[in-house]
Amino acid sequence: MEVEREKAAVTLKGGAGHLRLVVPEGIPDSDVWSGLEKTVEGARHLLEGGRVVLDLQGRPISSAFIGRLLTDVVWKHGLNLLSWVSFDNEGLKLLRSAGLAVGEPMAPVPEMRAARSFQTLLVERSLRSGQKVEHPGDVFVVGHVNDGAEIVSAGNIVVWGRLQGLVHAGAEGNISSRVIAKSFEATQVRIGRLFSTFDSASPWYGKSVLFAVEGDTLIAKELP
Amino acid sequence: MDPRIIVVTSGKGGVGKTTTTANLAVALAKAGYKTAAVDGDIGLRNLDVVLGLENRIVFNLVDVVEGACKLQKAMVRDKRVENLFLLPAAQTRTKDAVSPDQMLKLCDELRENFDITLIDSPAGIEQGFRNAAIGADEAIVVTTPEVSAVRDADRIIGMLESMSKSPIRLVLNRLRPAMVKSGDMIDVKDVLDILAIDLIGVIPDDTAVVVSTNKGEPLTLGDESIAARAFSNVARRILGEEIPLLDLEASDQKGFFGFLRKALGL
């Protein structure tokens, strides 16, 4: 009985690049909501920023059920849903008609994989125009990166000097990469697939700045 | 003094490489050093015109490297200044007419015959520049106080560094002190901050340069202009003298009132 009870509970599992919230068919409708509440509440920190696949298995889905799932679970807890998985054809039709993503999420694109760990490349000189550094790990420049120079790194880029050239951190898709410049005078910064442009009128010009990705946005933060 | 070969280069065109080469060659020859001015800009020769020697060219650099004539035969001797010789470029050929090996051989020969050789490099970063620089020991990079010229100079300095040229020194050409003062032109400090190499001279923007270039009479032949003095000072610094930079701001005060202000120390 104990084993069966465990099987028939709302569970959260880790998947490839996502979390999987499973609502088994076996549990009665009345227990679904308390089960979801308990699981989501208990894994609050895990779910924060994580991407979730909601797996409803063969449970018959009505429009009211979907509505309540959205209001009482997804929106209430701020879940970031990747897709809905269900074997109920009528339910799938409803989900599709609402424009919701259904089915197993696609395998993570290669660019999304975490940066492999490589040694940090320490560049103890200035990079002149036309000089390019490419490195599969972090790059640390003790010197200036002049206009026309380039750094492409799979990890973080730190410029302990004046940054005027082009830097591309997380170039293999690791969007948790950061760019840090002691004196920022560049016209463009790239992290992962995102980029942002600047001119000398930007509030960051000449300052010590950290660049990172939050959600789908490249953000800048002045360093003390 | 061991024979020295210096390439004069810039990356960007039109910043004053040829004018600088001509004026320095004249000043070095006047200082008593047997000097060769080599036009490395095969196909777009100019150094002969700026030096005023275009009418006396018989053979050229390509003839020498191809073995059509001896080096001594191709060198055009300047009759105005003792010790000054020009090796002109071929005008009817292109940069591909010379190989790096041929240039190295030519430089060895120049070293045997001259105290100082100045090679005027073509603009650009391709084969023409590489040929001009390959046989040189040291380099003079010419730039103007413009963002584009400074960026190109930065690029060329990186390439000269990777070719192990040393020292690599900077001539900042066509500076207008009044514009710097009003904030409309990058100043010397900003340029040096970016390029991070030694400054060997600042040449003010001077109409005398245009006149002398068209006449084929380098300023260092005997002109009294401020630009002439600035070029002469660069030559002296090449020879190892320590001379302070000219006060270009004072020279900016032209005319009677400028003279009066200078005289009164204002």
Q: Report the residue from A131, A144, A148 with minimal CB separation from B151.
A: A148
Contacts of B104 (CB under 8 A, 6+ apart): B134, B135
CB contact under 8 A, A147 and B151: yes
Q: In this predicted structure, what is the pLDDT of residue B211?
A: 94
Question: Is pLDDT at A141 greater than 80 in this prediction?
Answer: yes
Q: Which CATH class is domain A112-222?
A: mainly beta
CA distance A145 to chain B (A): 10
Q: In this predicted structure, what is the pLDDT of residue A106?
A: 62
**Which residues does chain B have within 8 Å of residue A148's beta carbon, measured at their own beta carbons?**
151, 154-155
Q: In this predicted structure, what is the pLDDT of residue B260?
A: 53
Cβ–Cβ under 8 Å, residues B200 and B169: yes
- Among A101, A13, A22, smallest CA distance to A54 is for A22
Alpha carbon of B117 to those of A163, B5, B36, B145, B208: distances in Å? 38, 5, 5, 27, 25
Question: Is pLDDT at A89 greater than 70 in this prediction?
Answer: yes
Q: In this predicted structure, what is the pLDDT of residue B112?
A: 97
**Which residues does chain A have within 8 Å of residue B157's beta carbon, measured at their own beta carbons?**
128
Helix axes B127-134, B100-113, angle to 10 degrees: 30
Residue pointed to by tokens 């105005």:
B80
Tell whether B126 is within 8 A of chain A (Cβ).
no
Q: Domain coordinates of chain A in residue numbers?
A: 8-108, 112-222
Residue A164 CA to residue A147 CA, distance in Å, equals: 5
Tell whether B154 is within 8 A of chain A (Cβ).
yes
**Which residues does chain A have within 8 Å of residue B154's beta carbon, measured at their own beta carbons?**
128-130, 146-148
Average pLDDT, chain B: 93
Q: In this predicted structure, what is the pLDDT of residue B255?
A: 52
CB contact under 8 A, A128 and B155: yes
Tell whether B159 is within 8 A of chain A (Cβ).
yes
CA distance A109 to chain B (A): 37
Q: Residue type at B124?
A: G
Contacts of A29 (CB under 8 A, 6+ apart): none
Tell whether B151 is within 8 A of chain A (Cβ).
yes
Range with the poorest average pLDDT among A22-36, A126-140, B115-129: A22-36
Q: Report the residue from B151, B159, B196 with minimal CB separation from A126.
A: B196
CA distance A129 to chain B (A): 4
- Among A161, A152, A125, A153, smallest CA distance to A137 is for A153
Q: Of the ranges A20-24, A28-32, B221-225, which is most confident?
A: B221-225
Range of the domain at B130: 4-264
Q: In this predicted structure, what is the pLDDT of residue B121?
A: 97
Element (DSSP H or E) covering residue B120: strand B116-120
Express each pLDDT in B3-23 by its tens digit: 999 999 999 999 999 999 999
3-state secondary structure of B32: coil
Q: In this predicted structure, what is the pLDDT of residue A109?
A: 44
- Among B208, B207, B203, B226, smallest CA distance to B218 is for B208
Q: In this predicted structure, what is the pLDDT of residue A55?
A: 86
Tell whether B196 is within 8 A of chain A (Cβ).
yes
CB contact under 8 A, A131 and B158: yes
List b or e across A37-74, with b for residues whose CB sees 16 or more CB atoms inside 10 angstroms. Answer: eebbeebeeebeebbbbbbbeebebeeebbeebeeebb
CA distance B154 to chain A (A): 5
Residue B235 CA to residue B228 CA, distance in Å, equals: 11
Residue A180 CA to residue A209 CA, distance in Å, equals: 6
**Which residues does chain A have within 8 Å of residue B152's beta carbon, measured at their own beta carbons?**
129
Average pLDDT, chain A: 86
Residue A35 CA to residue B108 CA, distance in Å, equals: 87
Tell whether A148 is within 8 A of chain B (Cβ).
yes
> Mean pLDDT, to the nearest integer, of B202-231?
94
Count of A–B CB contacts within 8 Å?
A: 29
Tell whether B158 is within 8 A of chain A (Cβ).
yes
Q: In this predicted structure, what is the pLDDT of residue B257?
A: 52
CB contact under 8 A, A146 and B194: yes
Sheet holding A139-141, edge to edge: A121-123, A139-141, A157-163, A179-184, A209-214, A217-222
CA distance B189 to chain A (A): 15
Predicted confidence band of residue B259 (pLDDT cuts 50, 70, 90):
low
**Which residues does chain A have within 8 Å of residue B161's beta carbon, measured at their own beta carbons?**
128
Predicted confidence band of residue A26 (pLDDT cuts 50, 70, 90):
confident
Express each pLDDT in A151-196 by its tens digit: 999 999 999 999 999 999 999 999 999 999 999 999 999 999 999 9
Q: Is the ipTM of this complex over 0.90?
A: no
Q: Which CATH class is domain A8-108?
A: alpha beta
CB contact under 8 A, A128 and B161: yes
Better-scored residue on pLDDT, B158 or A12: B158
Q: Residue type at B204?
A: P
Cβ–Cβ under 8 Å, residues B24 and B234: yes
Residue B27 CA to residue B33 CA, distance in Å, equals: 9
CA distance B147 to chain A (A): 10
Provide the token pair at A111: 């660019």
Cα A102–chain centre separation: 20
What percentage of chain A exceeds 70 in pLDDT? Answer: 90
First to last CA, chain A: 60
Q: In this predicted structure, what is the pLDDT of residue B98?
A: 95
Question: Is pLDDT at B262 greater than 80 in this prediction?
Answer: no
Better-scored residue on pLDDT, B252 or A219: A219
**Which residues does chain B have within 8 Å of residue A130's beta carbon, measured at their own beta carbons?**
125, 154-155, 158-159
Residue B17 sits in a domain whose CATH number is 3.40.50.300
Q: In this predicted structure, what is the pLDDT of residue B248?
A: 78
Better-scored residue on pLDDT, B81 or A79: B81
CA distance B11 to chain A (A): 11
